[in-house]
Amino acid sequence: MSREFLRVEHSGLRIDPVFAAFVESELLPAIDREAGPFWAGLATLVSELTPANRELLARRDALQAQIDEWHRAHPAPWVHDDYLTFLRSIGYLEEPGAPFTLETTGVDSEIARIAGPQLVVPVDNARFAINACNARWGSLYDALYGTDVIDESDGKARGEGYNARRGDAVVAYAADFLDEAVPLKGASHRDVVAWSVGASAPASAVALLADDREVSLADFGQFAGYSRDGDRLVLLFCRHGLHIELHIDPRHPTGRHARANLADVVLESALTTIQDCEDSVAAVDAEDKVRVYRNWLGLMQGELEASFDKNGRRLTRRLADDRHFLAPDGAAFCLPGRSLMLVRNVGHHMTTDAVLDRKSEAVFEGMLDALVTAACAMANRGRPGRLPNSRSGSVYIVKPKMHGAAEAMFTNTLFARVEQLLGLPDNSLKVGVMDEERRTTVNLAACIHAVRTRLVFINTGFLDRTGDEIHTSMHAGPVPPKEAIKSEPWIRAYEDWNVDLGIRCGLPGRGQIGKGMWAKPDAMREMMLSKGAHPRAGASCAWVPSPTAATLHAMHYHRVDVRARQAELASRTLASLDDILIPPLADTSALSADAIQAELDNNAQGILGYVVRWIDEGIGCSKVPDLDNVGLMEDRATLRISSQHIANWLLHQVVDEAQVETALRRMAAIVDAQNATLPGYRSMSDDFGGSLAFQAARDLVFRGGEQPNGYTETLLHAWRRKAKARARGG
């Protein structure tokens, strides 16, 4: 369907009318700006920075072509030192430079000093965005009762009615956790029959035992404050910067019958939330981009709401209020009721026709994201009595999929130009650098140096990083099955390298060192057993898939003092760059036919399960059941690794096209059966040729090797636009 673009006078830009209406009727009035200077500023930004952006992308392609040619000329096994010499000769490996320390200032404590869980959520879904933001605080009782953390032999988490035995197990588990996090002097929380606030100055929390003994905290300094409403009492404690609330309420259904009238234990959970405009959304045109931007603006204004039907009732989600307390000395204070929000922009390679430049070409979407998301953040004045998102006046923007220091420097330039355009102080726009591309990993210190005045975040992510690893070394040889890749030397070295360089460059006290997502939202017992490794590895935040997971994962940060752990790790030997640069290759002739087929089926089913929702429904992040019907949270990173894996095996003749086609068709029928009960679901296997989702999945596999850096966006966007046109009757 053709659209009539609006030509903005004097700017040379042509603006999609849907996007123009949002900017001029919603965004600019919210920040008291005029349309003319805004469009003129955008035009200047696009005109002056587009050539540099194109050069950076051309540099990516040129380096990849040289690496491909080297591998074709040097079949494995090759001399590793020769490989490193080659990478240096083409400028892929950069000189690390002299040691330095970050210069970032004005960072909120949730990012700079306190370690805790981090949620990533698609900002185009208002309900999910609000839920994530409100996950700053979560009920430990609910999180335990509703998941498999508590043994289910005496009743499932989601069984019929209340299970008293399960409830008792929840209370016991919570008491044991409190004994670790907020220990009492000579007693257990299991033995407390009543709580009170001592009358002395400063006030203290007093626990009464069954034998009428009064006991205090082992560490008086952990008592942070309290609030009282009649006979309801909330006690506030703190450990490693994270807060814990004990809700004493004799009128609450749980508190009425509970020992000490303890109605709930509430944990400060998702300290930070990344509101995502990138991999977890499906924004292919101006209409989609406006939905993304409008929700981010609503979050910044504190006015975003989401209404929906649940169990026959109409519910509305709103942003939570702040929490008010009295300190032990009697002074009133409040804590934020919401996560500190970061926003993830798209990468340098993306374009959008929401705006066309003077040549009628789609502009680079990263430029538009930087300007619009920063402008939206200027509306964060808060409501009366509500703390703003950033108390330091900073705007936190996570930048993904950068390749090397030149691209990080380009981001620094882009952000500086946006600050000038919007009249913001220098370095107001803070940046998070996602270490998910191989050229960024091996040049991480130089990337950090390029943004040293505004960096607040680095992280690792297995899926995207592995996808780029496969694509970079596509012609080196066949890769092992995905699960085996996790055991390759490069992955451990990569994880440690990120932490080591983050510490050496001065991130502790200034920013976050993050770890990747736990993908199984229904396997919380397994998460609790494994994800404690992240704070022990020196990570100050790690991604979780839900508010419930955030509350459970918060317990790990009470058990590990991350700042102390980072201090310990500062003296260890730097992880091996040599190991990072060993591509994960395998002798696939040693794999059985059954093992090869199982890996192919796993990849094909995962691709189809994700793509069918992306193309047909515009859902960028969803819980996709695997072949064992285990729900996995998936976004484009999952798609990238799976499609690149099949493309690699096709290139090296581990599988052939007919085998892949057969697997795709067989897995499509399985995915159709898994989704059969979803309202409006469109089957793929009924008409393979007519299913746009199936055709998109085929493209991602059979054209995967030719996609720049193995990215999936170009193909996904093209097929999604066809699906939207079909739905309109176009």
Q: Residue 509 contacts by C-beta under 8 Å, 6 or more apart in sequence?
A: 112, 113, 563
Q: State how far the Cα of 123 lies from the Cα of 343, in Å rounded to an integer.
A: 9
Q: What is the DSSP letter of 575?
A: P
Structure tokens at 92: 């892929």
Residue type present at position 700: L
Q: State how far the Cα of 243 lies from the Cα of 325, in Å rounded to an integer.
A: 12
Q: How many CB atoms lie within 10 A of CB 253?
A: 10
Cis omega (within 30 of 0) on the bond before 545?
no
List beta partners, residue 314. 309
Which DSSP string do the residues of 41-58 spell out, in sequence order? HHHHHHHHHHHHHHHHHH
Name the one residue in this structure whose structure tokens are 């793929």: 684
Q: Catalytic positions, please?
A: 344, 635
Polymer length in residues for the chain: 730
Q: Is 230 left (phi over 0), alpha (psi -120 to 50) or beta?
A: left
Q: Could you give the C-alpha distances from 112 to 244, 330, 424, 446, 589, in angstroms and in order?
A: 20, 28, 21, 21, 49
Name the one residue in this structure whose structure tokens are 């002097």: 185
Q: State how far the Cα of 179 lies from the Cα of 528, in Å rounded to an integer.
A: 18
Residue type present at position 78: W
Q: What is the DSSP letter of 217?
A: B
Which of 156, 178, 175, 176 has its CA nearest to residue 165? 156
Q: What is the DSSP letter of 184?
A: B
Task: Please say whether the dihedral angle defined by the alpha carbons of residues 376, 379, 380 and 383, taken in this order, is positive or negative.
Answer: negative
Burial class (CB in 10 A: 0-12, 13-18, 19+), 193: middle
H helix or E strand, kind and range, residue 139? strand 137-139
Name the one residue in this structure whose structure tokens are 């991999």: 279
Structure tokens at 77: 């096994």
Residue type present at position 158: R
Q: What b/e readout covers 652-673, taking b as 16+ CB neighbours within 10 angstroms?
A: bebbeeeebeebbbebbebbbe
Q: State how far the Cα of 457 lies from the Cα of 463, in Å rounded to an integer.
A: 18
Helical axes 636-651 vs 692-702, angle rounded to 10°: 50
CA contacts within 13 A on the Cβ side of 357: 21
Q: What b/e readout covers 280-295, taking b as 16+ CB neighbours within 10 angstroms?
A: bbbbbbbebbbbbbbb
Q: Could you give the C-alpha distances from 82 to 85, 101, 488, 490, 673, in angstroms and in order?
A: 5, 33, 21, 18, 51
Tell me phi and psi for residue 312, to 5 degrees: 80, 5
Task: Please say whether the dihedral angle defined by the alpha carbons of residues 670, 671, 672 and 676, taken in this order, is positive or negative.
Answer: positive
